[in-house]
Each structure stands twice: as structure tokens, then as C-alpha cells.
Amino acid sequence: MTSPDPDAIVEAVSYGVLGRHETAMTMLQPHVDAGPASTYGMLCVLAHLAHTDDGGGAPDDPLMIHVEGPGGRPATIDELPPPLRFAVRFVTACANRDHATSCALFSAVARHAEAHQTSDLAEAINIVYDMAVATTTVKQRRPNT
């Protein structure tokens, strides 16, 4: 499975919106188990869901993500823990259609996690998933206009 089924990933995010995160993770795990290409594809679908807000911006408007630091001030990217730093950069790269950057970011976090036996990749996947769930939840709460 090198090319994940986007509908299955959307379904997993739907379970996340319902608060059934264990079910969602069970649905996403086969994509990770299938290897790096499938994991990257899954992350791309999640990133798309995380940034697609239908907020009325032009399709080519660049995406910017703001993260608050201590005291509510904007955090710099260097202040973020590595998995969150990856997630913010990855979703932004995908939103801006920067395939070279999203691929390089994924390769770097995957190599680092494997070489150092860290949970950074798993944590990064969870953060991108959480971003997708949050965006989908907000979209569902918007009144139809």
C-alpha cells in the first residue's frame, strides 16, 4: 500500500471529530505499517484536511500558521518541540504546494526517528491528525450560507 486511500483517511478523521480517536488511529495504522511512502501519502492527505478551511481565501494565498508561546505571544518555530515544528512546517509546505519541502521534512523526521529510536514521527503524525480533526470540526460547526 504505497498510495493510501484518501477516503479511508477522511473517514478516520471523521471518527476523530466524533471523539473516537482510538478507532481513527486503528484506521490510520495500516498506512504507517505499509512503509514510508504510504506514511508520507497519509500525512499529505491529513495536511490537506488540516489546512482546507474554505475560509474564502484565494486558492493560491500562502498559508501561515500561528502558534502561541508563553504568555500568549507568537512563538518562533525554533521554540517548538521537534514533532510540533515538523507538523507546522509540513502542513504549511503542503498547503503551499511545496512538494520538495514536504518530502524533505518527512525524510528528515523519519530518518531521525529511526536513527535515534525516538517517537518523534509518531508524535508528528498525531499532531497533523489532530490539526485535521480540529479543522474538520470547525468546518462542520460553521452555519451553511
- Pairwise CA distance, residues 38 & 28, whole Å: 10
* Coil vs helix vs strand at 58: coil
User: Over the stretch 19-78, which tens digit does the pLDDT of each residue have?
Assistant: 999 999 999 999 999 999 999 999 999 999 998 755 444 455 555 566 777 788 777 778
User: Over the stretch 66-80, which tens digit does the pLDDT of each residue have?
Assistant: 677 778 877 777 888
With the CA atoms of 35, 37, 39 and 42 taken in that order, what torsion angle do they form, in degrees rounded to the nearest 10?
A: -140
Residue owning grid cell 474564502: 56
- Pairwise CA distance, residues 20 & 51, whole Å: 21
* Cell digits of residue 8: 479511508
Say what the pLDDT of residue 143 is: 62
* Cell digits of residue 37: 511512502
What's the predicted TM-score (pTM) here? 0.84
Bridge partners of 74, per DSSP, are: 68
